[in-house]
Amino acid sequence: MTAVLSNPVFREPSSLAGPVREIEFRDAIREAMSEEMRRDKRVFLLGEEVAQYDGAYKVSKGMLAEFGPRRIIDTPISESGFAGMAIGAAAMGLRPIVEFMSWSFSLVAADPILNNAPKMLYMSGGQLGCPIVFRGNDGAGGQLGSTHSWCVEGLYSNVPGVKIVIPSCPADAKGLMKTAIRDDDPVFFLESERMLGNKGHVPEGEYLIPFGHAAVRRAGTHCTLASWGRPVNFCLEAAEILAKEGIDCEVIDLRTIRPLDLPTVVKSVKKTNCAVVVDQSWSFSSPGGELAALIHKHCFDDLDNFVHRVHSDDVPTPYSAKLEQEYLPNVRKICEAVRSATYRA
Amino acid sequence: MHLIREFEVRCTQSYQDKKIGGFCHVYIGQEAVAVGCTQAVRPEDPIITAYRDHGHALARGMTARACMAEMYGKVGGCAKGKGGSMHMFDRPNNLYGGHGIVGAQTPLGAGLAFATKYEDEVINGGKNTRVTLCFLGDGAVNQGAFYEAMNLAGLFDIPVIFIVENNGYSMGTAIDRGTTMSHDLCIKGRAHGLKEAVIDGMDLLAVYHDMHELAEWCRANSRPAFVDMKCYRYKGHSMSDPRKYRTREEEERYEANDAIAKFEKALLDHGVVTEESVKEMLKGVREEVRDSIQFSNESPEPPLSDLYTDVFVEPWGRYTGSSLPEFMGGADNVCGFRATDGKEGLV
Ligand SMILES: Cc1ncc(C[n+]2csc(CCOP(=O)(O)OP(=O)(O)O)c2C)c(N)n1
Ligand SMILES: [Mg+2]
């Protein structure tokens, strides 16, 4: 970890001086992609509606105008084909960014992204790797129903050889995306349709955020809340509510789950003696389950209670707004889990 | 056709009123395709389609109430509010979905036809009696699964008709920007030995006649077919599409060739209907759709316990093995997610 952090390209956005600049999550991702495309001609973006339509979610807005159709490429609705094609190009040394309009649609490309990209280096005995970024919306949007609401980290984090980034705020999205593009390995970058319009301070000036380096979003002494992606924001909301009840939560944003910054979590739990893991994917064989197991192992003597977990309910995502809200790891569920974990239920 | 159009207009309003959520794709402009195709086959012939499915559901006989209430996420919906706009299912009317993933329905469509043929020939020892209609968009033609489905259908003599509702666009992508040989789409079916047809989907009678002939051929010969059904969607891809990728003139040109207006004129010209009877019918249609909205407003929200129904069939009763899942009460309430308000607990 320290070796990685000592690399001068890595900096936390909070360490940069300058005026406050509030931009949307989608702008932050676009800035990262554009900056990297300016510095490296091998980087290009492809996916459905990314060019002439300016992106289905406007993440790539204006990029066609700047970089032209050879580098911002509209594809047909052929995920298996264009993901595989990009992997082939990456093996040749190009650095593709593949946009899945939604990670839910990556399932039809499961073979290339899981069987080729993460295994190429290993199977070739280190001869050729796969410097590629797959990115798109992950998790429930709003009432998109069960086929369009996948949390693919539940499936994909099981696979060795992929790096999985799940940012929770614009500043991190930018710094992590730049790292993802410069990384020599396949990176799955998971955004959320529900967060693309979220605004946050993103400093001017260049910074990259290292993978496997969690951020402590809120310091606290009674219970550690560990999460990543959109639910981090729910954790912060829950922490405010719980603070009024006298429960002081420490909120840790893992930012990447592969690699996973266990030391930061362990350090926190050794202080709070209590942990709740919040993960939007389903509970069975999930990254949240993995983290809970690791906390149990490393903090066995420090825990006052078993690690509580909040997930989406173990059913397909329902369409009805009421059922969907109940199904997701919402603020209410997080509060209940923390109260239970701290014996305040 | 009038029912579908009126339904879609009110559906759009309901979406704007935030009564309907998620992705919602209306069928305005393409009505003649669903109506002509479903009328050209028998009620026992299965149909399956993509997410632009309200028209197919209504044409197949789903009530406006069940269809609208599904989008309102209410108990009175065809799937009790669990599926939503993109996933309309109606077993009694042999509609096997609404499928949200582009192209996903194409191998399934081959499977429906495989099953009807199997039942007729293997189980009942007779001749194939049914044909399946599998609808897909022109953009779905580029999914790999579709080619596997066509090859299987050709190989196994499966009586399925792949109807490409070629409205010229997949989202903002004009067909020639995303699809090779778009001037001769049928070549894609030809490559797998499928019978082919190009049909004017903006002409109800053409759709009906050509589809009837084709369906009867597929039924009798137990063979698959590919249809390039030329049509146009008047509105945006979904509710949030400013349609900057095409001109207003183009839209007006197609709207001037409206299938509903054309068919109505033909009926009037031949004295099949009168101005008055058309007016009467329209009144009935508006009333039916208005009623569906009232019904959807009044239909209750699903109870929280519905989250856990329909996950398994459980033919032997509720599972009670040693690996009883947590959500069925098999373990401690470790996620804290089942503490309810006491009124709506788990069943
Ligand atoms: C596998 C997959 N990729 C992408 C999408 C997103 N998407 C939904 S509809 C659509 C366009 C499809 O166009 P077309 O097949 O022509 O049907 P139309 O909308 O014109 O009826 C896209 C890209 C999806 N649902 N599934
Ligand atoms: Mg289309």
Please check whether residue A291 is in contact with residue A283, taking contact to mean a CB–CB distance below 8 angstroms: no
The answer to whether the CB atoms of A336 and B139 lie below 8 A apart is no
B209, HSE (Cβ side, Cα atoms, 13 Å): 6
The predicted pLDDT at position B338 comes to 39
Banded model confidence at residue B342, pLDDT cuts 50, 70, 90: very low
**Could you tell me which of B114, B119, B116, B84 has the C-alpha nearest to residue B100?**
B84
**Could you tell me which of B71, B225, B206, B73 has the C-alpha nearest to residue B134?**
B225
**pLDDT above 60 (res B333):** no
The residue nearest atom 11 of ligand 1, judged by CA position, is: B170
Residue A250 annotated in active site: no
Average pLDDT, rounded, for chain B: 93
Mutate which: A320, A322, A324, A332, vs B, most B CBs within 10 A: A320
Among A219-223, B143-147, B161-165, B333-337, whose mean pLDDT is lowest?
Answer: B333-337
What is the nearest CA distance from B280 to chain A, expressed in angstroms? 35
Residue A73: phi and psi, rounded to 5, are -115, 120
In tens, the pLDDT along A20-39 reads 999 999 999 999 999 999 99
The predicted pLDDT at position B325 comes to 52
- Structure tokens belonging to residue A95: 């650095």
SS3 for A309? strand
The predicted pLDDT at position A7 comes to 79
B20-41 mean pLDDT:
98
The predicted pLDDT at position A5 comes to 63
Smallest Cβ distance to B335: which of A53, A145, A283? A283
Q: Ligand 1 centroid vs A66 CA: distance in angstroms?
A: 27
In tens, the pLDDT along B261-308 reads 999 999 999 999 999 999 999 999 999 999 999 999 999 999 998 998
The predicted pLDDT at position B35 comes to 98
Domains and CATH numbers, chain A: 2-201 (3.40.50.970), 215-341 (3.40.50.920)
Smallest Cβ distance to A310: which of B145, B325, B335? B335
CA-CA distance, A48 to A51, in Å (whole number)?
Answer: 8
The predicted pLDDT at position B340 comes to 37
CA-CA distance, A217 to A49, in Å (whole number)?
Answer: 35
CA-CA distance, A214 to A258, in Å (whole number)?
Answer: 11
Banded model confidence at residue B327, pLDDT cuts 50, 70, 90: low
CA-CA distance, B168 to B241, in Å (whole number)?
Answer: 15
Residues in chain A, pLDDT under 70: 1-5
CB within 8 Å of B300: residues ≥ 6 apart: B74, B75, B76
CA-CA distance, B169 to B29, in Å (whole number)?
Answer: 13
SS3 for A249? strand
B330-334 mean pLDDT:
45
Q: Is B22 at the interface with chain A, CB within 8 A?
A: yes
Index of the ligand 1 atom closest to the CA of residue B25: 19
Mutate which: A150, A283, A319, vs B, most B CBs within 10 A: A319
Index of the ligand 1 atom closest to the CA of residue B103: 1
The predicted pLDDT at position A118 comes to 97
**Could you tell me which of B137, B202, B136, B199 has the C-alpha nearest to residue B169?**
B137
H/E element, A168: none
The answer to whether the CB atoms of A74 and B173 lie below 8 A apart is yes
- Tell me which amino acid residue A130 is: C
Q: Ligand 2 centroid vs B137 CA: distance in angstroms?
A: 5
Banded model confidence at residue B326, pLDDT cuts 50, 70, 90: low
**pLDDT above 60 (res B59):** yes
Residues pairing with B110 in the sheet:
none
ipTM computed for the complex: 0.94
In tens, the pLDDT along B171-201 reads 999 999 999 999 999 999 999 999 999 999 9
Domains and CATH numbers, chain B: 2-298 (3.40.50.970), 305-347 (no CATH)
Cβ pairs A/B, distance under 8 A = 155
The predicted pLDDT at position A4 comes to 63
Please check whether residue B48 is in contact with residue B108, taking contact to mean a CB–CB distance below 8 angstroms: yes
